[in-house]
Amino acid sequence: MNEHEEILKERAKVYGDFTTSLGTIGKIWTALIEAHYQIKLDHDIPPHLAGTIMAGLKLYRMTCPFEPSPDSYPDLINYVNAAKNADPRLNGEKK
């Protein structure tokens, strides 16, 4: 098991299944966007998009001038892999 797989396994013990967590994050973000803009989105932000956005956040944090976290690269790998695995376009599903 490599470093990012170990981190994913340990975090799953605390936070649960990664794809399920990204789905929940997408629902929360959808609710926040709808409330802020007083709009109704056609659907919730899907897990693969939540994972992609989280990867973008990790990339931003990696460019900040403070000392990076030692798990920054494994976290980035895990976000990208989760987004890929949850993307219905890559899994023969409809959006």
Is the distance from CB of 73 to CB of 81 less than 8 angstroms?
no
Task: Quote the percentage of the chain above a pLDDT of 90.
Answer: 74
Return the closest-CA partner of residue 20 out of 71, 85, 94: 85
The pLDDT tens digits of the residues spanning 51-69 come to: 999 999 999 989 988 887 8
Residue 68, pLDDT score: 79
Q: Which residue has the higher pLDDT, 33 or 1?
A: 33
CB atoms within 10 A of CB 39: 8
For the cut 80, the answer to whether the pLDDT of residue 94 exceeds it is no
